[in-house]
Amino acid sequence: MKSIKPTNYDQYLFHSGKHYQAYDFMGAHPGEYNGESGTKFTVWAPNAEKISVVGDFNDWQKNKNQLKKIEDSGLWVGFIPEARPGDKYKYWITGYNGQERVKADPYAFKAEKKPKTASIVTDMDKYQWNDSKWLKTRENTDILKEPVSIYEVHLGSWKRNSKNEVYNYKEIADLLIPYLQEMNYTHVELLPIAEHPFDGSWGYQTTGYFALTSRYGSPEDFKYFVDKCHQARIGVIIDWVPSHFCKDDHGLRLFDGTELYESNIKLRAENPQWDTLNFDFGQPEVWSFLISNAIFWFEEYHIDGIRADAVSNMLYLDYGKENSNWVPNEYGGRENIDAIKFLRKMNEVVFSQYPGVMMIAEESTSWPQVTSPGYIGGLGFNMKWNMGWMNDTLEYMKSDPVFRKWEHNKLTFSLMYTYSENFVLPLSHDEVVHGKRSLLDKMPGDYWQKFANLRLLYAYMMAHPGKKLLFMGGEFGQFIEWNYKQELDWFLLDYTKHQEIQNFVRDLNQTYLNESPLWELDYSPKGFAWIEPNDNSQSVLSLIRYNTNDQPVIIALNFTPVPRDNYRIGVPKEGVYEVILNSDEDIYGGSEYSGKTKYQTDAREYHGFPYSIELTLPPLAGIYLKPAKDKRKISRP
């Protein structure tokens, strides 16, 4: 390369918010320039008076390697022959008012392991990928019509070694991937793995957006993890935080002595609920920073999806604030117009470059059209967490079965809006911390009933339209709340009941994969029909899921500890119905109340269907059935 200066076109795109690979020239890039080896540095700091690069290569002396400001631009550039991959560095910035700050590189690809905070010069081109077949298949796949069962993981506390030390990405790959395969998950979702200073933020307060956290190893180690997941046919989703950033002095806050990444309007910048700073989406360079960061994770690490955290905080100027502590938009409203435009553009850019990936919004309000395209007024995501379903369902499941008949609408209300968005059903980390108790401990009743209720919860989730997500530990009945400081209580698998709930989740996932009616039409009303949604007196739900060929799976769920003998439901087809899953089986810790595996239809119209069957519904249990194989036509109600 002849020049270290970004091209005029690169500068134009960057300053107009349209540079979607800004990481290609921003930050530290080792290489050869004018025949000389070294590292090129570029940083955006328009209001700085002077910037030096300090690091291992100059004994951290601030006057040795000064950058030059590009005229009429906020970019500073420089070339340091002595700087090599592996060297630690920071920017020594003299602000416009003479105040000095020492900052990590916003575009650094690697950072020191906490509590140290320096950036590290990194060569990102050393890993040889082996997942081209996976990527080609992904490009031509409509993920909305595929099975998606996600295992949500915090890498630092899934498992640890005998010294209570975290595993690195390679070690985790060799442990976690076989487990994901054994448990029949399709995807793994990782809590944020960009660099963050405080373990207790779980990664949701970021300092290094392009820097993979060094807690678990190197960029090559994580590429190995993703590559091995793909070779095992497992997709990788990461949590990503484009909404706000932490205030640590080495991070983005007051980067050049002024508000660059945050708003210069204090009430908009300050985020009191998390003590962080909100990004300023009216700043085009922030668009280039964040959109290129999303692209970076897909391009450099081959990930398959992003779950954007705290989207509601982006959309509403008054989110989490008292009435007097926010500034309305230019029309007097609470909507963040710049953030809305940003989200639309970000999703448009991601899907144009990476068809087949997932862009998932964690949006906790009823903002419309989150998963509709931007050109019709949507935000452009292709999936959204269904927080309403999660809240209603857990409230229902926590109630004593005696009182559930009066809470029945909490199970059925979600079907009033389930096709308004492309939903993911999350039972996530947020529901098992801060005094909320673990999923198992939320369940009412005695010891046996707690496990039965948990199996029933999972059976209901898998029957409901939408993709699925379960946080680690939930699959084997973790009894205590999640603690990020220690590994999950794997010793519980020495006890039969925890082995049995794990067996059930494994087989439930397998049933889900095997039966296309449970996922093929997740986002179409053609894929779902109630049989009987209103039997609140007995707290029983019955429903049908269909695939594109009209093949049904019948699900009946009994939410009381009272068995329901001779429970008649309508069905769409004459013949024999086979039980393909029963949460009350002995191998799952059930009562084995009914060992019946086949039901013959009666020519008796019921629930609007031409045929019906009489089921034996076990206590606190769900059963899945489907017609024995034949070619007779199915009649819908």
98 pLDDT band (50/70/90 cuts)? confident
For residues 580 and 543, give the distance between their C-alpha atoms in angstroms, rounded to a whole number: 15
518 pLDDT band (50/70/90 cuts)? very high
C-alpha pair distances (Å), 150 with each of 59, 69, 305, 520: 47, 47, 11, 16
Tokens of 480: 């205590």
Number of helices (H), then strands (E), in the chain: 14, 29
C-alpha pair distances (Å), 597 with each of 78, 175, 455, 569, 617: 73, 36, 19, 16, 12
SS3 53: strand
Give residue 2's pLDDT: 63
State the average pLDDT for the chain: 96
Give residue 631's pLDDT: 47
- pLDDT of 240 > 70? The answer is yes
Q: What angle do CA 136, 140, 144 make, to 5 degrees?
A: 125
8-120 CATH choice from 3.40.350.10, 2.60.40.10, 2.40.128.280, 2.60.40.420: 2.60.40.10
SS3 471: strand
In the chain, where the domains are located: 8-120, 146-403+421-451+469-507
SS3 413: helix
Cis status of the peptide bond prior to 115, with omega within 30 of 0: yes
**142: number of CA atoms within 13 Å, CB side?**
8
Q: Rg of the chain over CA atoms, in angstroms?
A: 27
Which helix (H) or strand (E) is 76 found in, with range? Answer: strand 75-80
* Equal fold, 8-120 vs 146-403+421-451+469-507: no
Tokens of 364: 């906790």
Tokens of 143: 């993920």
CB atoms within 10 A of CB 611: 20
**538: number of CA atoms within 13 Å, CB side?**
19
For domain 146-403+421-451+469-507, the CATH class is alpha beta
C-alpha pair distances (Å), 493 with each of 101, 184, 325, 499, 501: 51, 18, 49, 5, 10
SS3 103: strand
- pLDDT of 630 > 70? The answer is no
pLDDT tens per residue, range 136-185: 999 999 999 999 999 999 999 999 999 999 999 999 999 999 999 999 99
In three state form, how does the secondary structure of 334-383 look? CECHHHHHHHHHHHHHHHHHCCCCEEEECCCCCCCCCCCCHHHCCCCCCE
For residues 563 and 272, give the distance between their C-alpha atoms in angstroms, rounded to a whole number: 50
Backbone angles phi, psi at 281, to 5 degrees: -85, 0
End-to-end CA distance of the chain: 69
Nearest partner of 381 among 192, 206, 237, 188, judged by Cα:
237
Higher pLDDT, 320 or 636: 320
For residues 207 and 196, give the distance between their C-alpha atoms in angstroms, rounded to a whole number: 5
For residues 290 and 17, give the distance between their C-alpha atoms in angstroms, rounded to a whole number: 10
The catalytic site residues sit at: 309, 362
C-alpha pair distances (Å), 500 with each of 61, 103, 380, 495: 61, 52, 41, 9
pLDDT tens per residue, range 431-464: 999 999 999 999 999 999 999 999 999 999 999 9
Structure-token match 């668009």, residue found: 287
pLDDT tens per residue, range 368-422: 999 999 999 999 999 999 999 999 999 999 999 999 999 999 999 999 999 999 9
- pLDDT of 635 > 70? The answer is no
pLDDT tens per residue, range 24-57: 999 999 999 888 999 999 999 999 999 999 999 9
Backbone angles phi, psi at 77, to 5 degrees: -135, 160
SS3 235: strand
Nearest partner of 365 among 339, 345, 391, judged by Cα:
391
pLDDT tens per residue, range 316-347: 999 988 877 899 999 999 999 999 999 999 99
Query: Percent of the chain having pLDDT more than 70?
Result: 98
